[in-house]
């Protein structure tokens, strides 16, 4: 923790993420209005004291929608990355620890998944299922585990030959015990870095999907679909396009800064 | 070299089988029969085309037979015809019953996307090599900090948002650049040079948007590669024997830093192809990405499956070319293979 604060990059990232995280968690309390309340007397108002980020074409308060959108974007990002990290750790552990045929099959599967353009893959799956927030999380998670798998496998390959692992094996520790208490804790650094960077790209993918109308569906607010609604009015309601884009930019920037800062720290340790 | 080439091409076969398995699996994700209305299948499709679909995918046969037949069709590059778009063939032109030629959807869209991606790659490489080299030479000084900042923003900025802003500021308010389509009105009457200029003008914004994240990533890659090589012994030797700094940087260092870029180029292909969905649908460019997006919206499954497969095959080919280029460009590998 002290190292995160010492590195200006990860500190900046951590501050950004914390602020956005707090805003998202307390969106219900912080929102001045109901995010889905339609007020036909307050259509497309520019930002002022009451509506901090103006109102949209249905008279809904953009600031409240942005806060609730933060909740959705972060939830999708974190759950999706949780799914991909769990898959990656399991497959990577099996491949790296047991080698042999399991390793060959898993690594070929990684190669195959990496050769299908991932945005095509995600859209294709969404075409066959219906777009909903849960499907989006699962689909993003199921199409982004390849990096973690490779990483965990590589870490295991080098750790496996180390003396402390040989010692544990000699003492008769079970495979599961060696993986969980010796190998995984020692590969945690790179896994955390890839998880943090993964949230950044998942937030971008979700907002892209929602922007295309294939992600989070109305009336649920997400940064992507606020932007889609707003783009029709870009000529006379700039606030509808400016704020969601900025929010995505800042959030992704925050996760990237933290991730890269952490990577620097771990690199210095080794 | 020939042995390597053969091995490398043979290796693509299990990859293609894997890709076909995944595509097949996705196709069966839809709840129930993919031709039924319950699966939110396009209700406009006629009973006739539904029957065609059932025959196309052999839905009445056991699953393993279905997969075998699907694989056979992929090998023959037969993707059937679209439900929408006047039932045009998905991949390549075909004659219909009346003897009229129906042009293939991918046949028309692919050259456009390839052109955009080629321009994108050219631009990414020329600019990122420049930025990466400057950042490495001025490590930890102002130019390096500026470039690092640019890299982080480039990574984080949503492409569709920037596209929207640029479209509005350069296309609507200032009207410097066209904002949609590939050609202006009156394109047919222009001279050859005028046509090329018109096309480039239309491609300027989409190519710029497609470049952005790649540009950031590869600049960073060149910078870090240069810094690592600048610390190596042979560079110290080059400097010690009194070579000009320019020669040290551009001949000894850059040459070595650029080699791994060939591999990175191969790896970035799926991202570029996939990324074309957003850029092309915003700027209404009739390429693979827009075709795919429209097909997804209309649940035009033959087109979705066709593009998914062709996109993956393109990626495999791109990786193949990158690997061969690397083997050819790196004397260490080239000599190793020659032995």
CB of B277 within 8 Å of any CB in chain A? Answer: yes
Residues of B in contact with A111 (CB under 8 A): 15, 18
Query: CB-side exposure of A90: number of CA atoms within 13 Å?
Result: 6
Say whether B293 and A114 touch across the interface (CB within 8 A): no
CB of B159 within 8 Å of any CB in chain A? Answer: yes
Considering only the beta carbons, identify the residue of B160, B301, B316 that sits closest to A115: B316
Distance in Å, alpha carbon of B259 to nearest chain A alpha carbon = 22
Q: Tokens representing A174? A: 């079970």
In the predicted model, is pLDDT for residue A56 greater than 80?
Answer: no
With beta carbons less than 8 A apart as the criterion, state whether A116 and B19 touch: yes
ipTM: 0.85
Distance in Å, alpha carbon of B203 to nearest chain A alpha carbon = 21
Neighbours of B214 (CB within 10 A): 23
CB of B35 within 8 Å of any CB in chain A? Answer: no
Q: Tokens representing B24? A: 């097949």
Residues of B in contact with A212 (CB under 8 A): 277-278, 281, 293
Q: What is the rounded distance in angstroms from the CA atom of residue B191 to the CA atom of residue A50?
A: 57
Per residue of chain B (339 residues), what is the pLDDT tens digit?
Answer: 778 788 888 888 888 888 888 888 887 776 555 555 434 445 556 666 666 666 666 666 777 887 887 788 777 777 777 776 666 777 777 766 677 777 777 877 888 888 888 888 888 888 888 888 888 888 888 888 888 888 888 888 888 888 888 888 887 777 777 777 777 777 677 777 777 888 888 888 888 888 887 888 888 888 888 888 888 888 888 888 888 877 777 777 887 888 888 888 877 888 788 778 888 888 888 888 888 888 888 777 778 888 888 888 888 888 888 888 888 877 777 777 665
Using a 10 angstrom Cβ sphere, with 0-12 exposed, 13-18 middle and 19 or more buried, the burial of residue B191 is: exposed
Helices marked H in chain A — which ranges?
A: 2-6, 8-25, 27-30, 62-98, 100-115, 118-128, 133-142, 146-160, 163-170, 175-177, 184-186, 188-211, 223-231, 238-269
Q: What is the pLDDT of residue A203?
A: 92
With beta carbons less than 8 A apart as the criterion, state whether B124 and B151 touch: no
Lowest mean pLDDT among A108-112, A153-157, B264-268: B264-268
Which backbone phi and psi does A215 adopt, to 5 degrees? -110, -125
Q: What is the pLDDT of residue B39?
A: 42
Q: What is the pLDDT of residue A75?
A: 92
Secondary structure of residue B101 in the 3-state scheme: strand
Say whether B277 and A120 touch across the interface (CB within 8 A): yes
B206 closest CA partner among B184, B186, B177? B177
Q: Report the share of chain A in percent with pLDDT over 90.
A: 27
Average pLDDT value over all residues in chain A? 85
Distance in Å, alpha carbon of A14 to nearest chain B alpha carbon = 15
| pLDDT, tens digit (0-9, with 9 covering 90-100), for B225-244 | 888 888 888 888 888 888 88
Neighbours of B259 (CB within 10 A): 15
Residues of A in contact with B22 (CB under 8 A): 112-113, 116, 121
Say whether B152 and A257 touch across the interface (CB within 8 A): yes
Q: What is the pLDDT of residue B206?
A: 85
Secondary structure of residue A43 in the 3-state scheme: coil
DSSP string, A158-187: HHHTSHHHHHHHHTT--HHHIIIIIIHHHT
CB of B270 within 8 Å of any CB in chain A? Answer: yes
Q: What is the pLDDT of residue B10?
A: 86
Contacts of A261 (CB under 8 A, 6+ apart): A4, A7, A8, A9, A10, A11, A12, A13
Distance in Å, alpha carbon of B238 to nearest chain A alpha carbon = 29
Q: What is the pLDDT of residue A146?
A: 92
| pLDDT, tens digit (0-9, with 9 covering 90-100), for A67-87 | 888 999 999 999 999 999 999
Which backbone phi and psi does B94 adopt, to 5 degrees? -145, 155
């Amino acid at each position: 923790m002290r190292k995160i604060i010492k590195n200006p990059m990860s500190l900046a990232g951590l501050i950004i993420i914390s602020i956005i995280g707090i805003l998202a968690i307390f969106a219900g309390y912080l929102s001045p209005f109901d995010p889905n309340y339609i007020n036909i007397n307050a259509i497309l108002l520019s930002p002022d004291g009451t509506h901090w980020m103006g109102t949209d074409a249905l008279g809904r308060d953009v600031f409240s929608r942005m806060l609730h959108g933060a909740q959705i974007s972060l939830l999708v990002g974190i759950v999706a990355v949780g799914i991909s990290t769990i898959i990656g750790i399991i497959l990577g552990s099996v491949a790296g620890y047991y080698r042999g045929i399991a390793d060959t099959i898993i690594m070929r599967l990684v190669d195959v998944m990496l050769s299908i353009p991932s945005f095509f893959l995600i859209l294709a799956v969404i075409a066959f299922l219906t777009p909903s927030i849960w499907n989006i999380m699962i689909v993003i998670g199921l199409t982004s585990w390849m990096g973690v798998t490779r990483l965990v496998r590589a870490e295991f390959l080098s750790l496996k030959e180390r003396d402390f692992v040989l010692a544990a094996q000699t003492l008769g520790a079970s495979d599961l015990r060696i993986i969980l208490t010796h190998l995984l804790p020692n590969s945690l650094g790179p896994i955390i870095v890839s998880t943090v960077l993964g949230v950044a790209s998942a937030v971008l993918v979700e907002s892209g999907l929602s922007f295309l109308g294939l992600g989070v569906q109305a009336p649920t607010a997400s940064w992507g679909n606020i932007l889609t609604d707003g783009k029709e009015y870009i000529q006379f309601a700039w606030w509808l396009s400016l704020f969601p884009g900025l929010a995505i930019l800042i959030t992704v920037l925050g996760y990237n800064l933290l991730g890269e800062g952490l990577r620097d720290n771990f690199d210095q340790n080794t | 070299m020939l042995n390597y080439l053969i091995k490398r091409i043979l290796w693509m076969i299990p990859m293609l089988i894997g890709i076909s398995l995944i595509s097949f699996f996705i196709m069966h994700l839809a709840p129930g029969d993919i031709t039924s209305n319950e699966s939110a299948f396009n209700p406009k499709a006629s009973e006739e085309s539904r029957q065609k679909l059932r025959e196309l995918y052999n839905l009445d046969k056991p699953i393993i037979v279905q997969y075998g037949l699907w694989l056979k069709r992929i090998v023959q590059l037969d993707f059937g015809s679209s439900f929408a778009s006047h039932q045009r063939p998905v991949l390549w032109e075909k004659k219909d019953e009346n003897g009229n030629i129906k042009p293939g959807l991918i046949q028309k869209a692919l050259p456009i996307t390839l052109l955009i991606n080629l321009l994108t790659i050219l631009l990414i490489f020329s600019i990122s090599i420049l930025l990466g080299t400057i950042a490495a030479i001025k490590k930890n000084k102002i130019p390096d900090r500026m470039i690092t900042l640019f890299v982080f923003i480039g990574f984080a900025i949503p492409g569709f948002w920037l596209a929207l802003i640029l479209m509005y500021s350069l296309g609507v308010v200032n009207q410097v650049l066209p904002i949609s389509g590939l050609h202006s009105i009156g394109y047919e009457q222009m001279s050859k040079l005028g046509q090329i200029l018109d096309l480039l003008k239309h491609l300027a914004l989409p190519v710029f948007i497609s470049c952005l994240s790649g540009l950031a990533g590869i600049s960073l890659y060149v910078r870090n590669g240069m810094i690592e090589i600048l610390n190596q012994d042979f560079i110290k030797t080059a400097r010690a024997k009194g070579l000009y700094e320019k020669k040290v940087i551009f001949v000894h260092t850059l040459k070595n830093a650029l080699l791994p870029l060939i591999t990175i180029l191969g790896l970035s292909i799926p991202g570029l192809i996939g990324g074309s969905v957003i850029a092309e649908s915003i700027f209404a460019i009739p390429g693979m990405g827009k075709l795919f997006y429209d097909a997804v919206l209309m649940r035009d499954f033959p087109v979705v499956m066709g593009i998914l497969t062709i996109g993956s095959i393109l990626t495999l080919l791109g990786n193949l070319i990158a690997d061969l280029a690397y083997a050819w460009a790196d004397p260490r590998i080239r000599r190793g293979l020659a032995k």
